[in-house]
A and B are shown apart, each in its own frame.
Chain A
Amino acid sequence: MSTPRVVLVDDHGLFRSGVRAELGKQVEVVGEADDVQPAIELITELLPDVVLLDVHLPGGGGQVVVQAIKAEHPEVRFLALSASDAPEDVIAVIRAGARGYVTKTISTTELADAVRRVAAGDAVFSHRLAGFVLDAFAAAPPGVEKPSIDPELDQLTTREREVLRLIAQGYTYKEIARELYISVKTVESHVSSVLRKLQLSTRHQLSRWAAERRLT
């Protein structure tokens, strides 16, 4: 597989140059932007494989960029990246269409790996996002809420829960595969399915969960 073409969107110049220096050999960084509007223009022009997107941008949340691009160029994939992960922000970017979320403290190797994974169409969950998702889907017992359009979307399967738990414990996909006696491909498909549920579920709880979490 060829090296993925990457655009960096982050308002911290220092961070961009750091990532560019670190990732330089493993992916092709084709452009950088520091805010919502320039990012949208740059991405539309370059059409990279992956956009590394900061969750927080001065001109609006990262989800604004995702929404603007997704409508016309669904082939561009987004990996959210943030130092401050307030659950509601992270969930918002994922629900807007990002394929994954990692923290800025991630190691270079892991980040390059995550970029390749997203470029290949897989989902990437950090341990923290896995925790958020488990929390969000467990927050209320099913049946308490109004029935939604597709109940299947509102619950995680036992297997998906297991996979998420292991991610939250810091397992890599390979380790998860070994732990659960399944193939890495299957792990990936479970994670993608969780991502789909996260994005498509109309579960009221999911959109409100983050905000509530903050209030109490």
Chain B
Amino acid sequence: MSRIAVPARLGDDGTVEHPEHWHGDQWPRDQWRGGHWPRGPFRHRGPFWLRRRPRSGGPLRRDPADRLGGGVAAGVAAWRGFSATAVRIVFVLAALISGGWFVPVYVAGWLLLPAAGADGSIGSRARSDARGIRLAIGLASLLTLVLLALTAFNGGWFVGWAWPQVFSVTGLVLIWRNAPPEEQETLRHLIEPLETAAGPGTGGRWSALRLVLASVLLIGGVGWLFSAHMSVALLRPLGGVVLVIAAIVLFLGPWWLRIARDLVLERQARVRAEERADIAARVHDSVLQTLALIQRRADDPQKVVQLARLQERELRSWLFEGREPNEEDAELTVAAGVRHIQQDVETKYGVPVEAVTVGDCDLDDSLNALLAAAREATVNAAKWSGASVISLFAEVEAGEVSIVVRDRGQGFDPEAVPSDRKGLAESVHGRMSRRGGTATVTTAPGEGTKVALKMPRTAQGRSSTPSRT
């Protein structure tokens, strides 16, 4: 990479500020922000898992979408197909067993593994961040001095733990300065407790009290620990550990809580964004398409009404019943069956069907017969009545299921129906009576038609609890 680094520097609020000369002669801002750092001759060589990436490892990528810290654990989990939580637990155990040495290893992973979807690791950017490197080295040497001083005084296990963290701090500084904005956000959370501990007058009385108490406990605990080796009592060092832990909890507790909350919020926001995209896609696929169709069919009112009804039903079933628009309704319950009749009749005959279902239950043979009869009656009404709308009402009660199909059309004289027209006689009456149900047809010329169907529920049907799909 031949270019000199652009000295992006950290502003007071922790965000990266760009120098004035940024615009114009440097790389486009959004390209940088998106993590697409120009990477020289290594770009565009085959699929990404084959592409050789110096300093970035193989196909192992950090997973920023599921991160708690740097997304290393999530990345390893995704890489090897483990659960992220399991990997995290292993990481924490590793950190405990290795005496803290695993922490810098983790930070190195964060620094050197590119995030999934991003081009190049943070490390490759940090390489050219001269200020950052100076800052990191400065901080590391300061820390080293402090630790040396502590060792001289009798450091014990604490210093043993702290040594590896010199490397962690160095890595974190580089990450902080070179990570994309959303990862800087995570790091800011990690830094925050120091600010709250250091910033006077920010928190009010409670937080002041908390800090004082924590400091007292910490000093007491550390003092106790340092004096422990002189004592023979086994309980004393333990007491010191307890005090130190209490101090840490008091120091960092509110901050931990806040981090947990922020992570939840962040995840929710991401889910919301995905949902929104999903909805936009659906609205486009269904509603906008239908609207376009309606505009093209504007001269055919019948067709327009039909399209509008179809769309309305689809949208309604998606919004309120959670069904996918093109999902096949497995006709397993009465309500689903009624919905099917409504759809088919509206689509085939272009007559709106107002369907109302009260209660629901699973289907059995006799209820299938009931639905078939109801379908026949509805189709008849759509074909012959001339009514502008057909009502379809189904009610599931404890002992029976009833369906009423009604139209305000021309009606007919039941006596005058030719005997070769089998629709009503066979499909409706026959079907119902064979299963122990009844069908009542009320009609007269000019009066509309009402077909009331009742089917007793069998023991099996009754025992199944009412369910909705």
Contacts and interface: CB of A to CB of B under 8 A. Distances in A.
Please indicate whether A and B come from the same complex rather than being unrelated chains. yes
Interface of A: 83-87, 105, 127-128, 130-131, 134-135, 138-139, 141, 165, 168-171, 213-214, 216
B287 to A, nearest CB: 12
B391 interface: yes
Query: Nearest 7 pairs between A and B by C-beta?
Result: A131-B356, A170-B391, A168-B356, A134-B358, A169-B393, A169-B391, A216-B468
B406 interface: yes
Contact of B404 (A86, A141, A169, A213): A169
A135 B467 contact: no
Nearest to B321: A214
Contacts of A130: 356
B389 A86 contact: no
A216 B360 CA distance: 12
A165 B391 contact: no
Interface residues of B, number: 22
A166 to B, nearest CB: 9
Given A127-B391, A169-B393, A214-B320, A135 B354 contact: no
Contacts of A128: 354, 356
Contacts, number: 54
A127 B319 contact: no
Contacts of B406: 169-171
Nearest to B402: A165
A79 B151 CA distance: 80
A170 B448 CA distance: 12
Interface string B425-469: 000000000000000000000000010000000000000000110
8 contacts: A86-B320, A127-B393, A141-B398, A168-B358, A169-B406, A170-B389, A170-B391, A171-B406
A134 B391 contact: no
B347 interface: no
Interface string B307-337: 0000010001001101000000000000000
Nearest to A87: B320
B320 A168 contact: no
A127 B320 contact: no
Contacts of A213: 468
A216 B354 CA distance: 23
Contacts of B450: 169
B357 interface: yes
Given A169-B404, A169-B406, A135 B359 contact: yes
Contacts of A83: 312
A103 to B, nearest CB: 9
Contact of A84 (B316, B357, B389, B391): B316
